[in-house]
Structure 1
Amino acid sequence: MASALTSVVVGAKAKHTATVVFLHGLGDSGNGWSFLADELSGLLPHIKWILPNAPSRPITLNAGYQMPGWFDLTGLDKSSLKDEDQKGMLASVASVNQLIRQEVDDGIPANRIIVGGFSQGGVMSLLTGLTSEYKFAGIIGCSCWLAMADKMKSMGSDANKKTPILMCHGDMDSVVQFQFGEESANRLKTYGYDVTFNKYRGLAHSANPAEIQDLAKFIKDRLPQE
């Protein structure tokens, strides 16, 4: 059974008709991305934000020390990323799906839900969105890469084959290299997915106002107020 996740929840300011689930990066928490919900709540008052907290786990990249993480990482070079903690990834997918199922049970249709994330959380949002049986309004992956890339053509569910995907990446990212994000977006395009890949000049492993603006537009276009 999937482990239950705790979450930072920022409620809708008006009638709740849509939800964004946004997953943080390694070593962070839901609070680390609450600024996004706070910043966009005026523009998107009908949206509830769920910002899950990853469980604490030993991270090989961090000498085995415990820290919040969606899966283990041995390194951030190309060969290390191929050494994937698929068991950890799939366990986290199950936990995120549990949150989404609760939203659907509470009356928010899956096509009024966007799943997104940053860095490790972006890896998880792509993996969750592409394999879910729920048809989402959109999928967002920031400063991340496509996990299980070689398997995704067969793993991907039919539900989100046409779902718009927004991927964003700074070209000065020294943590998750820009080329990893770009190659991932291109791989998804060859699989037939509807991917927009945005490049941000001079941006390191973080977000900037231009990216936040692009996220806001994508969310508003995909989840208009009813």
Structure 2
Amino acid sequence: MSSIRRASPLIFPATARHTATVIFIHGLGDTGHGWASGVENWRRRQKLDEVKFILPHAPQIPITCNWGTKMPGWYDIHTIDGSAEGMRKNEDEAGVMLSNEYFHGLIQQEIDAGIPADRIVIGGFSQGGAMSLFSGLTSKVKLAGIVALSSYLLLSLKFAELVPKPAFNKETPIFMAHGDSDQVVNVSLGTQSRDLLQKMGYNVSMKIYPHMGHSACPEELDDVEAFLRQRLPPLGKGSDKSEL
């Protein structure tokens, strides 16, 4: 498994001086290209010109709930019935930890390239959102923020044991979002994950969108953009004077 083949991520370079990075992770069966239009949406108002976007591509792996068919996935899923019990059943801990190592490596690459950890946001949708929560909160650097759309907390029964001590991202703002009509990842699984994280002392907020299924809507994309703008404000050209 350690020699798993990975394609290089899709990159959207910053259009101004690169001072911040967003890593955004797609869901099961998708590729980074599936969120390219979302990135274009976030960039269209030119408020995130200093942000580089990295859209990784999941490797092809057998997915049990799809009869073992290979498809892009960050970890195996045994059951998709919308329930918390189904999602937690036979969780693919090895697959989660392998992807976790990969995302921590992407974060470190950005740090090595000169972007401070507190100018990096990790986010994602569905499986990607679950990985962004897990990888963000188990990171050994303090990030700017975490975005988790239509997703849930992985390995929740032992999550507290897997977080580094001290927990570097205990106070890092987390934006969770979910549709109340999601038939794939039930909204109750999202709210249970939020409640568990809040009980553990994490800085998590959640917005629920009426009539939205397992997808994204324009309002949600705008809310993510607002979160990114808040967490990654432009630094200008390095002087204390703001650009007009």
1:170 paired with 2:179, answer: yes
1:113 paired with 2:113, answer: no
Q: Would you say the 8 A contact 1:5–1:95 is kept in 2?
A: no
Q: Would you say the 8 A contact 1:97–1:128 is kept in 2?
A: yes
Change over 3 Å in CA distance of 1:140–1:68 after alignment to 2: same
Q: Would you say the 8 A contact 2:42–2:222 is kept in 1?
A: no
In structure 1, runs of 5+ residues without a counterpart are none
Matching of residues 24-173 of structure 1 within 5 Å: 24-41=26-43, 42-76=46-80, 77-82=83-88, 83-157=90-164, 158-173=167-182
Q: Would you say the 8 A contact 1:23–1:116 is kept in 2?
A: yes
The Cα shift of 1:153 comes to 2.1
Aligned-pair Cα RMSD in Å: 1.2
The aligned amino acid for 1:175 is V
By percentage of residues, which structure has more helix? 1
**How far, CA to CA, are the matches of 1:94 and 1:224 in structure 2?**
28
In structure 2, runs of 5+ residues without a counterpart are 236-244
Q: Return the TM-score normalized by structure 1.
A: 0.97
**How far, CA to CA, are the matches of 1:5 and 1:155 in structure 2?**
28
What are the superposed Cα offsets for residues 98-135 of structure 1, whole Å, 9 maximum, x if unpaired? Answer: 11111110000111000000000011001100101011
Matching of residues 193-204 of structure 1 within 5 Å: 193-204=202-213
How many residue pairs match? The answer is 226
The aligned amino acid for 2:163 is G
What are the superposed Cα offsets for residues 7-51 of structure 1, whole Å, 9 maximum, x if unpaired? Answer: 010111111100000000000000000112111222211100000
What are the superposed Cα offsets for residues 129-173 of structure 1, whole Å, 9 maximum, x if unpaired? Answer: 010101100011000010111222232231101101000000011
**How far, CA to CA, are the matches of 1:138 and 1:32 in structure 2?**
22
The Cα shift of 1:2 comes to 7.6
The aligned amino acid for 2:15 is K
The aligned amino acid for 2:66 is N
The Cα shift of 1:6 comes to 1.7
1:212 paired with 2:216, answer: no
Consecutive aligned runs of 4 or more in structure 1 exceeding 3 Å deviation: 1-5
Change over 3 Å in CA distance of 1:163–1:201 after alignment to 2: same
Counterpart of 1:182?
191
What are the superposed Cα offsets for residues 37-91 of structure 1, whole Å, 9 maximum, x if unpaired? Answer: 1112222111000000000000001110000000000112333322200000000
Point out the structure with max Rg over C-alpha. 2
